[in-house]
Structure 1
Amino acid sequence: MMNINFDEISGEVITRSNKKYDEAKLSWNRAIDVNPLIIINCYNEIDVINAIKFVKKNYLEFRIRSGRHSYEGYSTGENLVVIDVSNLKEISIDEDKGIVKLGGGVRNREAYEALGAKGYPFPGGGCPTVGVAGLILGGGWGYSSRYLGLACDSLLEIEMIDYKGNKLILNENINRDLFWACRGAGGGNYGVVVSLTLKLPEKVDMGTLIRINYKNINEEDAVKILENLQNLYRNLDYKMNLKTSLYNSKEDGIGIKLIGLFYGEDSEARKILKSITEVSEKIEADFDYMTILECNRWIQDSHPEYESYKSGGRFLYKELDAKNIRSLLDIIKERAKGSYYTAITLYGLGGKVKEISKAQTAFYYRDAKFILGFQTVWEDNKYKNNNKDWFLARYNIITELTEGAFVNFPLHELKNYEEEYFGANFKRLKEIKEKYDPNNFFIFPQVINGTNELLSDNTNKR
């Protein structure tokens, strides 16, 4: 640090001696507890370019950060530089051209508010502070995915800073192969995204927020609900999507919770979900007809400000029979020591997601029925290792029922992660990495490695 010239950085530099440091280093997952060397807050693309040139010149390891939501903390690290783009928040809506341009630091809530104010829905995620860039680069699941497609399916153009500090334009005509890769291959592999341009969807005014909760449910009812849910998804209206959690909560016991969004009236939503709501009288059910923006506000507000957790996600292709469902119930029957919540969650796919070929974008698992998420959450980090061991001991059961892994729900212990995340697309992704980042300048523990994994110079020896 003694010989490093910070004057070359045009953004804000936060060192360990800065009073902002303790707050600036935090991740949304409080299980991630690391101490970066410095944090560079970038406010425009020039700041990003200068930050890239700075770490390259000084042979410093670095990470790219936007929303701080990397499950495994891959947007930060010990004794390295964090290039933070969360202040690139410009949102420009051009209704005449039917596009919206988002800065690389825009988060879900900001996008929902800006677009919702003009009557447009947004194919974003549920958590308000997730960075839109990271969401989109990994595909981008949301409650509107069946109706509007994945977030990456609305993407028209990306502006990215490469390893040389040059700005690249990516779209269907320019750097087309890299544009393909950036729709599903995850963030941090190829460069720093400074803006994303998306196609505006048709305006939609009203919709129905769905909230169903069965607390302290018995096993037979739980099996029936999940069987009925799978039957429902065979021909489910594209305008509806659900997140269904089989949970064990310290507060509410073992239960099933469904949160959903329907682009239609509440009466129709009730009819569609009749097979779910009539399983048991032990139900709390609300169908609220309001603006789409209000629906998304409630979903976002239901998320905590932060958590400590271990989590992962895979893709479910098969129909779960009663035996499979009981095996999932067995997994969560006893929580890990110190855990107050554990869940196995089905994130609905199908609809518009499935209409696009798995070769058309880097998001490979388009024909899966659900993303299957698994998590354990705790309050005191003295129980971190207990929960991690508990999770990994049960993860193998999940793998037996699923295929592949979801890059936006990463798992550090995943073997053969490139093939797991990207399926048959991973070979092409490695070739693209070699073309646009030949010396593996952009790295993190689960980076896509180029076809030539031996570095040709010392660019990355930092």
Structure 2
Amino acid sequence: MTAPTPQGSRASHKARRKHLHNRRALLRAASTALSVAGFSSLHRTAAQTPTPNTALGDLQQRLAGQLLLPQDTAFSVANTPANRSYQDVTPIAIARCADEADVITCVQWCAENGVPPVARGGGHSSAGYSTTTGLLIDLRSLDTVTVDHAAGTLTAEGGATMASLQMALNDSPFFLPGATCPTVGIGGLTLGGGIGSDARWAGLTCDHLRQTRLISANGELLDVAADQHSDLFWALRGGAGGSYGVNTSFIFDLVETPATPVSNFTVRWRGADAAGLVLQAFQALMQHAPPEFGATVTVIPRDPAESGKRRSIDVLLSGHFIGQASDLQDLLTPLLGVKTPPVEHTIAALPFRESQRRLSESVTHALAFTGISRYANAPLPDDVTAQLVSGLINCPYRTDVAHGTLTLFGWVGGILTQTSRSATAYVHRDMTLLWRTGAVWSPEQPPRVGNELTAWTQEITSLIAPHTPNESYQNFPNTGIPEWQQQFYAENLQRLIEVKTAYDPDDIFRNPQSIPVSPGA
């Protein structure tokens, strides 16, 4: 059962809410004096003191939403993250926030009781940073999305996903550049930058952020924009989530959808020889491709039982081009002309919305996953690409529920290079490619499966690293990245630390790769 909920009439509930609203107003007014001493002994890896049931009961009394405890029947499902690697990380409770006031209450309660607060929107953190042994602040009920067509803006609550946004914009002449996975949360996507299939011509998600509302470490509600808390606004556009507070809503400036059909394309090859040739040709193409072109190449080693290790490798090129099919055909000529011909080749003129839907990733359920990324601004040497293919051939597991992947994102470059590296916290503006070595496996398999695949991703990444800048995408966090501060933030790190010190000096909002309060922390 859940923690006790007060009984009573609708009127009494309203009275309670009014009382809580008044109390919150007083707390917000005195927020600068709010004691956070309970956190002073907590470090990034420290465990918190067990929280008395009386404190959890008090939290439930203060919430309009529901508080789930580990013994509740709904707890397990509510606690399950997208990445099943972290499904056994158990919070002391899950606060299903009904509104923004509930989020304020949760942050203040955490400060009062020395409990680390962690917010979850889409729950897609590849490093498990939307899981916690403290209080899990579940934002998924805060998923309202509204569109102001006259102003060309969209307002999304902190728990909204890409699917929520796409639904709200379905009949609109506007769109917001973002991720292709429908279950990704808009909060984490925006805060880490937000690359996607249209970023090269329409910008990052964070580039369109006009304003956000954030609950700070002392429980204060802040309206953050270019002219309000401008330093924090800078940090929230690429500084990643989990460092500065809980974002409860976002306002974005929208982009007009292309009026003419776009050219959607899918090309498939089979085999190790094709993988090497396609990767080489795609790297070369992305050094000069027009901004209207966005695509990815994904290479997956499959079960070798039927065709052998070299033949059983799938290669997929997919994307779309804001332009005519004839122009796209010219762009794809180097890829279509590789010595190993494709087994499938489709170009279709589609309305923009339909093309976006086709690019949306299918959702893989109940799998654990990991991945390490690496930005590049030039093609790898051919012999290094050949080594990558050898690594794919020798991937330790090649089944539907356990295998490695190598993805090359052609979602960067283009107009992103027209913005300076220091204009926002997202620093990787001058890159032309993003590599990602990944793996998936079933959490029901022995631990050695995940361990061996994780080691494989690190081995493949070690081949790429010497030939690329020391930079990685902060929305692909991974504790196996030794120099993550440099790789995620480069020369923007010091300013991010200064903002952290100003808004969360006691490091209340933290995870193993959150912005520290001092260099090297």
TM-score strictly above 0.5? yes
The structure 2 residue matched to 1:435, chosen from 493, 499, 502, is 502
2:440 is the alignment partner of 1:387 = no
2:392 corresponds to: 332
- For the 8 Å contact 1:163–1:441, the answer to whether it is kept is yes
Q: CA deviation at 1:14?
A: 1.2
Give the whole-Å Cα distance in 1 for the aligned partners of 2:265 and 2:98: 38
2:300 corresponds to: 247
Q: Aligned ranges for residues 338-377 of structure 1 at < 5 Å? A: 340-348=402-410, 349-377=412-440
Q: Aligned ranges for residues 283-322 of structure 1 at < 5 Å? A: 283-322=343-382
Q: CA deviation at 1:429?
A: 0.4
- Aligned residue for 2:330, secondary structure, equals helix
1:183 corresponds to: 237
The structure 2 residue matched to 1:12, chosen from 66, 85, 91, is 66
Q: CA deviation at 1:413?
A: 2.1
- For the 8 Å contact 1:213–1:285, the answer to whether it is kept is yes
Q: CA deviation at 1:452?
A: 8.7
2:104 corresponds to: 49
Give the whole-Å Cα distance in 1 for the aligned partners of 2:242 and 2:278: 39
Q: CA deviation at 1:130?
A: 0.4
2:474 is the alignment partner of 1:407 = yes
Q: Aligned ranges for residues 73-84 of structure 1 at < 5 Å? A: 73-77=128-132, 79-84=133-138
The CA deviation string for residues 237-264 of structure 1, in whole angstroms up to 9 with x for no partner, is 2111011123312388223211112223
2:275 is the alignment partner of 1:222 = yes
Tell me the TM-score normalized by structure 2.
0.82
- For the 8 Å contact 1:155–1:196, the answer to whether it is kept is yes
Give the whole-Å Cα distance in 2 for the aligned partners of 1:250 and 1:265: 38
Give the whole-Å Cα distance in 2 for the aligned partners of 1:170 and 1:418: 24
The CA deviation string for residues 371-418 of structure 1, in whole angstroms up to 9 with x for no partner, is 111111223431222222333344322322332121101111222322
The CA deviation string for residues 333-383 of structure 1, in whole angstroms up to 9 with x for no partner, is 212247543222111111111111101000111111111111112234312
The change in CA–CA distance for 1:452 and 1:438 in structure 2 (over 3 A counts) is farther
Give the whole-Å Cα distance in 2 for the aligned partners of 1:57 and 1:176: 29
The CA deviation string for residues 397-454 of structure 1, in whole angstroms up to 9 with x for no partner, is 2322332121101111222322221001001100000001111111112111113999
- For the 8 Å contact 1:146–1:353, the answer to whether it is kept is yes
- Segment of structure 1 superposing worse, 232-241 or 364-373: 232-241
2:346 is the alignment partner of 1:272 = no
Q: Which runs of 5+ in 2 are unaligned?
A: 1-51, 305-310
Q: CA deviation at 1:330?
A: 1.9
1:133 corresponds to: 187
- Aligned residue for 1:273, secondary structure, equals helix
Q: CA deviation at 1:159?
A: 0.9
Counterpart of 1:342, as a letter, is G
The CA deviation string for residues 87-107 of structure 1, in whole angstroms up to 9 with x for no partner, is 211212112222111111111
The change in CA–CA distance for 1:198 and 1:212 in structure 2 (over 3 A counts) is same
The structure 1 residue matched to 2:205, chosen from 151, 157, 171, is 151
- For the 8 Å contact 1:157–1:197, the answer to whether it is kept is yes
Give the whole-Å Cα distance in 2 for the aligned partners of 1:301 and 1:222: 21
Tell me the TM-score normalized by structure 1.
0.93
The structure 1 residue matched to 2:171, chosen from 110, 117, 126, is 117
Give the whole-Å Cα distance in 1 for the aligned partners of 2:375 and 2:520: 29
Give the whole-Å Cα distance in 2 for the aligned partners of 1:17 and 1:225: 52
- Segment of structure 1 superposing worse, 265-274 or 363-372: 265-274
Give the whole-Å Cα distance in 2 for the aligned partners of 1:2 and 1:155: 40
- Segment of structure 1 superposing worse, 113-122 or 371-380: 113-122
2:54 corresponds to: 3
Counterpart of 1:270, as a letter, is Q
Larger radius of gyration: 2
Counterpart of 1:275, as a letter, is P
Q: CA deviation at 1:65?
A: 0.7
1:160 corresponds to: 214
- For the 8 Å contact 1:43–1:88, the answer to whether it is kept is yes
Counterpart of 2:143, as a letter, is K
Q: Aligned ranges for residues 83-102 of structure 1 at < 5 Å? A: 83-102=137-156
2:315 corresponds to: 256
Give the whole-Å Cα distance in 2 for the aligned partners of 1:106 and 1:375: 26
Q: CA deviation at 1:287?
A: 1.6
The change in CA–CA distance for 1:259 and 1:43 in structure 2 (over 3 A counts) is farther
Q: CA deviation at 1:10?
A: 2.9
Q: CA deviation at 1:316?
A: 1.2
Counterpart of 2:192, as a letter, is G
Give the whole-Å Cα distance in 1 for the aligned partners of 2:258 and 2:212: 26
Q: CA deviation at 1:274?
A: 1.8
- For the 8 Å contact 2:301–2:398, the answer to whether it is kept is no
The CA deviation string for residues 286-314 of structure 1, in whole angstroms up to 9 with x for no partner, is 22222222222222253323532221112
Q: CA deviation at 1:171?
A: 1.2
The structure 2 residue matched to 1:397, chosen from 457, 460, 463, is 463
Q: CA deviation at 1:319?
A: 2.0
- For the 8 Å contact 1:217–1:282, the answer to whether it is kept is no
- For the 8 Å contact 1:156–1:171, the answer to whether it is kept is yes
1:208 corresponds to: 263
1:457 corresponds to: none
2:284 corresponds to: 231
The CA deviation string for residues 124-151 of structure 1, in whole angstroms up to 9 with x for no partner, is 1011100011001101010000010111
- Aligned residue for 2:360, secondary structure, equals helix
- For the 8 Å contact 1:434–1:452, the answer to whether it is kept is no
Count of aligned pairs between the two proteins: 451
- For the 8 Å contact 1:121–1:292, the answer to whether it is kept is no
Q: CA deviation at 1:60?
A: 1.0
Q: CA deviation at 1:217?
A: 4.2
- Aligned residue for 1:194, secondary structure, equals strand
Give the whole-Å Cα distance in 2 for the aligned partners of 1:404 and 1:281: 34
